[in-house]
Chains A and B, each alone.
Chain A
Amino acid sequence: MGVDYQYVIEGFITAIQPANILWVIIGGFLGTVVGMLPGLGPATAVAVLIPVTFGMEPTSALILMAAIYYGAMYGGSRSSILLNTPGDGSAIAAAFDGYPMTKKGQAGQALTISAIASLIGGLFAIIGFIILAKPLAAFALKFGPAEYFLLFLFTLSAIVSLSIGNMVKGFISMSIGLILSTVGVDLQSGVHRFTFNIPQLSEGIDFLIVIIGIYAVGEVFYNYMSLDRIKKEKKKVGTKWITKEQWKQSKWPIIRNGPIGFLIGVLPGAGGSIASMLSYTTEKQLSKHPEKFGKGAIEGLAAPESSNNAASVGAFIPLLTMGVPGSGTTAVILGAVVMLGLKPGPLLFENNPEMVWTLVDSMFIGNIFLVILNILLVGLLVRILDTPPKILYPLILVLAFIGTYTLSYSVIDFYILVIFGVIGLMMKLLNFPVAPLILAIIVGSDMEQSFRKSLVAHDSFVNVLVASPVTIALVILTILSICYPFFIGWLRRRKQSRA
C-alpha cells in the first residue's frame, strides 16, 4: 500500500497551473456564496453548473466541482453563525454555539475560528487521503447494513444524550423526527406510507425543508416576540481576531475532530451532517465545562467545523477509488464526470493517477484560498447584523421560501415549511431540543432500511448486534452514550453529598 509520491508531486504541478488555480478560486467562491443561502447546498450548486462543465477538460471540471463542494462547507456555516439559519445539514452543528457567540457580540471571532477550523480539518483529511485512501476504501466496504444501522443508532443516542437533564424531551423530539422520516414510499416493499395520496410526499419529507422551517422560519417567528423591544443599540460584532485564550481552547478540539470527520466522510452514506453532530457531542462529553456548550463555547463551534470539512474530503475516497458516490453531492459529481467521458472506478487510480492526485492537490490549494477568502469576508458579512431586524427578518423569510422551492420545485413544500416553522417556534418556547429531531429525519429512513436489510441478512436481531467487531463496538458506544448522562448526574450528587 505504498503511496506514489511521484504522482503526488506531478499532480501538484498540474494543480498549480494558472487555469486550474482559476477554477479552484471560482469554484471555492461560488460554493461559499451558494452555501450561505438556505436550502441551496453543494449538490444543487454542482448540478446547475453541469452545463458549464460540458466543454471543459475532465480534470478541470473535477477540480471546479470539488472546489464548489468544500467551498459550500465553508459558506454553509456563515449563515448558521450569523442568523441561526443553517444552509445545509452539515452546517447545523455550527449554529449550536456559533449563534450564541454572535449574540454575545463575538460574531467576527466565530466566523474566523470556523474558517480556521475548516482549514485545519480539511488539511488533515487531505493528508489522510494521500496516505490512506486505498486501505480506507476497503474498510468502508465492510460496512454492511448491520454496521450502518448501529452507526445511525449510536449517532442518535449521542445526540439525545446531549440534552442532559432533559432526556425525555430529547427522546420525544427524536421520535417525532423518526416518525417524519417514515413518510414516503418504503423502499423494501414499495408500499406508500403516510403519503395521503399526495405524489410529492412519495419521496418523503426533505430534511432540508425541515431544517429551513425550524431554524429560519421558526427563528423569525421567535424573534417577532422581541421585535419591538430591541432599541436602536449598535450591535457589537467585535473583532475578527481570535484571542490566545480562544485559540488554546479550540486547538485540541480542531485537531481531534479532523480525523473523526474524515473517517465518517469515507463511509458511503454517512457524510457531513453526521460527522459534525458526532464531533459536537464528542467535544461536549470530553469538555471540563459542558454547561458552557450551547451558550457560545468556542470549542463547540470549532469541533464540528473541522469535522464537516474533513468529511467532505473523505467523501471523495469512495468516489475516486471505487466509483461509489458517498454522498448526495458526490453522486451529482459522478453523474457530471461520466457525461465528460470519465469513468471513476477501480481503474481510475491505475489508469489516471495523475488526475486523482491533481484533484487532491487542488483541494490543498483550495482550502488555503478559502480560509483567506472567508476571513476577508468576515468584515463584510458581519454587516448583515447591522441591518435593522425589522427588515432583516422579512428578507430571511423570503430567502427561506426561495431556497425551499429550489429543492423540489413544488409549492406544496411551502406549506410543509410553514408547518415546521410553527413547530420550531413551539419547540423553542417549550424548551425542546431541536437537534435530535433534525438528525432523526436525516438518518431515519436510511436507518430503517439498514435495519430491515440487516434482519434479512442476519436472520435475527441478536445476530445483527454481534455481526462483526464493528457492530459490537458500536453497541457498546451506544450503551455508554445513553448511560453517560446518568453517570454524570450520579457523580454530581456524590460531589454534593461530600461537600
Chain B
Amino acid sequence: MRKFFGIMLLLLVMVIAGCSSDEKAGGEASFPSDNIEIIAPATPGGGWDATARSMQKVFSDNGIIEENMNVVNKPGGGGEVGWQYLKKQDAHHIAINSSLVITNNILGQSELTHKDFTPLAILTTEWNAVTVAPDSKFETGAEIMEQLKKDPTSLKIAVAPSLGNDDHLSFVQAAQEFGVDVTKLQFMIYESGGDVLTAMLGGHVDVATSSVSEFKEQHLAGKVKMVAVTSEKPIKGLEDIPTWKEQGVDMVFPHWRGVMGPPDMTEEEIAYWDDKIGKLVETDAWKEILKNNEWESYYMDSTETKKFLEEQTKKYEELLNVSGLTE
C-alpha cells in the first residue's frame, strides 16, 4: 500500500511542477500572447451562447483575430458563475453580459456589479413587445394599461424566465408611466419564451411580454396580436405596431447584450478589443447573423459602454424599486 501511495505522490508532484512551469512561459510578449476565450455564462442554446459563438465565428472566419478561440460555457446563477470565473482570468478572456450584470446585484443575488469588470462594448439589442390573443378586445398597449389602471389584478400576464428581467421590467415601466399600481400585477412566470408562446396560443394567459423576435412569426401569421414595442422607431417588417412613444409614453427599452473583460485591463488591451470589436460589427457576416436572429446593432465602444452602464444602473435601481422587488 505504501509503495502505491508513494508512486501517486511522485506522479502528483511531477504533474504540478510541469503545469506551473508551463504557465510562466507566457507573459511579457505583446497582447495577445495566448488563446482567446469567449465566456458564455449560460448553457448552449440561448442568446448569450449564440452571441458568443457568432463572435467566435466572425472573428476567425474574417481573419480579424488570428489566435485560437474557444467558447466556454459557464452556466449558473443568471450569469454569476461565468462572471465569477471571468473575474479571475486575464485579458485573453471576455464574457458576454446583459442587464443581468446590473440587476443581479440590485436584487441582492450577487456581489458583482459592472464595476468589477472592464466594459468593452455593447453589441446588439432586441426590443420587447406586448402581445395579446388575435381576438382580444385590446387593440393597443395603452388600452391594456387603462384596464390595468382600473384593476391591476384583472389580467394574467405571461413572462419568462424570471422576474426582474427586461421582459418583466419593460412592462412594469410602461405600466408605471400610465399610473398602474405595478406591485399588484399578476405575472405568471414561464420557463422560456417558447412556453410563454404556447400559453398565449392556448389561451391560458391574457397578455404576454417578451422580446419581439419570439412572437414576430406568430404575429405575421395572425395567431397573436402585438400591440406595443419598446423601440425608438417602428421595427422593420412590423411597421404597423405602434411604439410606446407613439402611444404617448416617453420610454425606450432596449434588451441589450455586450461584452466585458476581467478587472484591471491595461490601456493597450482595451484598445486591442476596441479595434477588433469595431471591425467585427462592420463585417457582412456579422450583419447577416444579426438579421437572422432579429437582433439590431447597438454598438458602443468601451468608453461609451462605461457611461451607458452607469445610466442603466440608475434606471434599473428605480424600476426594481417600483416593481416591488427591492425595498
Distance, CA A305 to CA B218, complexed state (A): 35
Known pairs A187-B161, A188-B189; A339 contacts B202 (CB<8 A): no
Distance, CA A142 to CA B201, complexed state (A): 9
Say whether A145 faces chain B, with CB atoms less than 8 Å apart: yes
Which of B14-22, B40-48, B144-152 is near enough to bind chain A? B40-48
Distance, CA A341 to CA B294, complexed state (A): 9
Give the residues in chain A near B293, CB-CB below 8 Å: 338-339
Distance, CA A341 to CA B50, complexed state (A): 13
Known pairs A54-B57, A141-B202, A331-B194; A341 contacts B188 (CB<8 A): no
Q: Is the CB of B217 within 8 A of A343?
A: yes
Q: Is the CB of A456 within 8 A of B163?
A: no
Say whether A127 faces chain B, with CB atoms less than 8 Å apart: no
Report the nearest A residue to B201, measured CB to CB: A141
Give the residues in chain A near B288, CB-CB below 8 Å: 341
Say whether B297 faces chain A, with CB atoms less than 8 Å apart: no
Partner of A345, one of B56, B81, B218, B325: B218
Q: Is the CB of A335 within 8 A of B45?
A: yes
Q: Is the CB of B199 within 8 A of A144?
A: yes
Report the nearest A residue to B200, measured CB to CB: A141
Say whether A325 faces chain B, with CB atoms less than 8 Å apart: yes
Give the residues in chain B near A202, CB-CB below 8 Å: 76-78, 80, 109
A-facing residues in B72-115 (Cβ within 8 Å) = 72-78, 80-81, 84, 107, 109-110
Say whether A175 faces chain B, with CB atoms less than 8 Å apart: no
Distance, CA A268 to CA B191, complexed state (A): 12
Give the residues in chain B near A199, CB-CB below 8 Å: 76-77, 80-81, 84, 110
- Within the complex, what minimum Cβ distance (angstroms) separates B99 from chain A? 15
Known pairs A187-B161, A331-B192; A318 contacts B198 (CB<8 A): yes
Q: Is the CB of A189 within 8 A of B44?
A: no
- Within the complex, what minimum Cβ distance (angstroms) separates B312 from chain A? 20
Partner of A456, one of B80, B164, B186, B203: B186
Report the nearest B residue to A323, measured CB to CB: B217
Q: Is the CB of A332 within 8 A of B45?
A: yes
Say whether A457 faces chain B, with CB atoms less than 8 Å apart: yes
Q: Is the CB of B188 within 8 A of A453?
A: yes
Q: Is the CB of B220 within 8 A of A347?
A: yes
Report the nearest B residue to A319, measured CB to CB: B194
Distance, CA A322 to CA B44, complexed state (A): 22
Q: Is the CB of B45 within 8 A of A410?
A: no
Say whether A463 faces chain B, with CB atoms less than 8 Å apart: no
Known pairs A318-B198, A323-B218, A343-B217; A408 contacts B161 (CB<8 A): no
Q: Is the CB of A324 within 8 A of B292?
A: no
Distance, CA A192 to CA B192, complexed state (A): 19
Partner of B44, one of A47, A143, A343, A446: A47
Say whether A48 faces chain B, with CB atoms less than 8 Å apart: yes
Give the residues in chain B near A51, CB-CB below 8 Å: 53, 56-57
Known pairs A44-B44, A339-B292; A187 contacts B76 (CB<8 A): no
Known pairs A331-B45, A335-B50; A144 contacts B202 (CB<8 A): yes
Give the residues in chain B near A449, CB-CB below 8 Å: 189, 191
Partner of A190, one of B57, B73, B74, B325: B325
Say whether B280 faces chain A, with CB atoms less than 8 Å apart: no
Q: Is the CB of A268 within 8 A of B198?
A: yes
Q: Is the CB of A200 within 8 A of B76?
A: yes
Q: Beta-carbon contacts of A439-460 to B below 8 Å, as 1s and 0s?
A: 0000000100100010011000
**Besides the known contacts A203-B75, A323-B217, A335-B50, 12 further A-B residue pairs in the complex with CB atoms under 8 A apart:** A141-B203, A144-B204, A187-B162, A190-B163, A199-B77, A323-B218, A324-B194, A335-B45, A339-B293, A346-B223, A408-B75, A456-B156
Point out residues on A near B: beta carbons under 8 Å: 43-44, 47-48, 50-51, 54, 141-145, 185, 187-190, 192, 199-200, 202-203, 268-269, 318, 322-325, 331-332, 334-335, 338-341, 343-347, 350, 408-410, 446, 449, 453, 456-457
A-B CB proximity, top 4 nearest: A345-B217, A199-B77, A47-B44, A141-B202
